[in-house]
Amino acid sequence: MSTDETHMYEMCKEMCKEMSETILGRLERFDAFDTKFQSVLSVQTDLQNHVVNQEQMTSALDERVEVLETKCEDLAKYASQLQAKLLDLETRPAEIVGKQHFPHPVKVDRAHRSLQPKSAAGGKQGTIMARICHFQEQILRLSRAQSMEYKGNKVLIFPDYTSEVMDQRRAFRDVMKALRDGGVKHHLRYPARFHIYWGGQDTRQVRGTRK
């Protein structure tokens, strides 16, 4: 190989080396860029998944809120119905025995129908259990002193006592019958205190005993 050819070969070799180094450098930069790009893609994917999860959670919350709003509306209607029923129940005792006997409206703590089966149409009316906050004795006294009706139906009012109190009060049953037959004024106060009136005065108090 001549000197010129050798020199040309060395130049080509050097140029190929420089080009190879340049290409390799660019490839390394591309690999670094690709790594960063893949990292960005991974972050973007995570963000997209997070957004999807948030959208799903928001949709589920919207559904729950809608259900709760519906329930709240139903509860509000039910509370309004209960309030109307309570107002009706509070009005009935005063209407039955006479509003003029009470300084302020009669308050009903709670009221419900008894568990006994309903009577046939036209039969005996059902029983209502009610807890009155005030005027219990006054209502019972008025119910004994006058006949009562509500919308054309006869109403009877009885106290609701425990079985123990009822046993104590039954101890006076025969005595009370004899006094009624003899025209002697008497009264049985809660829980089982028997009062006999003579000449307009309360002269005796006897406490009932359980048999």
Burial pattern 33-45, b for ≥16 Cβ within 10 A else e, equals eeeeeeeeeeeee
What would the pLDDT profile of 146-204 be if each residue is shown by its tens digit?
787 777 788 888 887 788 888 888 888 898 888 888 888 887 877 788 888 876 555 55
What would the pLDDT profile of 94-113 be if each residue is shown by its tens digit?
677 777 777 777 777 777 77
Nearest to 207 by CA among 171, 161, 176, 175: 171
In the predicted model, what is the mean pLDDT of residues 128-132?
78
The proportion of the chain whose per-residue pLDDT surpasses 90, expressed as a percent, equals 4
The separation between the first and the last C-alpha atoms of the chain, rounded to the nearest angstrom, is 144
Domain boundaries, the chain: 161-211
pLDDT at 125: 64
Q: How far apart are CA 197 and CA 187, in angstroms?
A: 8
DSSP character string of 10-39: HHHHHHHHHHHHHHHHHHHHHHHHHHHHHH
CATH number (3.40.50.300, 3.10.450.50, 3.40.50.10440, 3.30.250.20) of 161-211 reads 3.30.250.20
What would the pLDDT profile of 47-90 be if each residue is shown by its tens digit?
888 888 888 888 888 888 888 999 999 999 998 888 887 777 66
pTM for this prediction: 0.41
